[in-house]
Amino acid sequence: MLVPDKKFIIGNWKGNPSHLSGALELARALGENSSKTTEVVICPPHVFLHPVQNAFAVSVSLGAQDIPTEKFSAEQLASLGVRYVILGHSSRRALGETDVQVNEKIRICLDNNLVPIICIGENTRDTEGNYLKELEAHIRASFAGYTKSDLEHMIIAYEPVWAIGEQATREASPEEFESSMIFIKKVLNDMTGNSPVGKLTIIYGGSVSTDEQLASYLTVGACGVLIGRASLDATVFNALCSRMKTL
Ligand code: PGA
């Protein structure tokens, strides 16, 4: 089970940097260790997992950006020191990854003691609330068959697609995050029976780069953040990690 009340700051380097030297430089520039209360997780591209793991200047956790479904992949990732795996990120969904595949990969992670970080979020947000149907469909398909206790071993990242990356129109407001988080819990409750789901680790991702944003999401109940672009600037990322420890 994930340590209750731990906060997560997860750097998702996506397809960056373009050269190994840049990845090593970034790994060496990390300045904040994970602590008892705050877990710092770095998710470099697959090809850089091993070299980066050996270059970290501080004690942080390693995450992969996906897991192949071949039989030995999970063991191989674990042997590199990988502990977390991002699943269903919008960049993978754009390449055709489905909720059914995400569902299958969650099982592979859980069976191999890897913590899945499952990204879910609507493509667009309308004012009539139709986006909730899209979100609900993702939740129902991605988590079908999982129990309340399985859910305690996962991190769920609410990442509305419209708030992520260069194309983002803006970040989701803390209130938007909060209402989506409540909705996610409600649907999961409904899927897993009458008693309320226990402790769920739900984090926010999408255009986070400032201390104020960090604090605002945590204030409304986020257990952490998934950071893309801002994790590629060591100074900015270190400052966010250090701030996270005070929240
Ligand atoms: P961003 O990306 O922080 O650059 O918006 C978040 C993500 O892709 O997980």
Tell me the DSSP string of 27-72: HHT------SSEEEEEE--GGGHHHHHTT-SS--EEEES----STT
Per-residue pLDDT, 57: 87
Evaluate if residue 44 carries a pLDDT over 80.
yes
Query: 226: Cβ below 6 Å to ligand 1?
Result: yes
Which amino acid residue places its CA nearest to atom 7 of ligand 1?
Answer: 228
pLDDT tens by residue, 185-212? 999 999 998 666 778 999 999 999 999 9
Per-residue pLDDT, 199: 81
- Average pLDDT taken over every residue of the chain: 94
Q: Give the confidence band of 3 by pLDDT, cuts at 50, 70, 90.
A: confident
Q: Give the confidence band of 1 by pLDDT, cuts at 50, 70, 90.
A: low
Q: What is the mean pLDDT of residues 15-33?
A: 96
Evaluate if residue 53 carries a pLDDT over 70.
yes
Which amino acid residue places its CA nearest to atom 2 of ligand 1?
Answer: 228
Q: Name, in order, each residue with C-beta under 8 angstroms of 47's C-beta and a sequence gap of 6 or more.
A: none
Query: 160: Cβ below 6 Å to ligand 1?
Result: no
Active-site residue set: 89, 159
Q: How far is the CA of 82 from the centre of ligand 1 (A)?
A: 20
pTM to 2 decimal places: 0.95
Which amino acid residue places its CA nearest to atom 1 of ligand 1?
Answer: 228
pLDDT tens by residue, 109-146? 999 999 999 999 999 988 888 899 999 999 999 999 99
Q: How far is the CA of 194 from the centre of ligand 1 (A)?
A: 35
The closest of 158, 175, 163, 160 to 216, measured between CA atoms, is 175
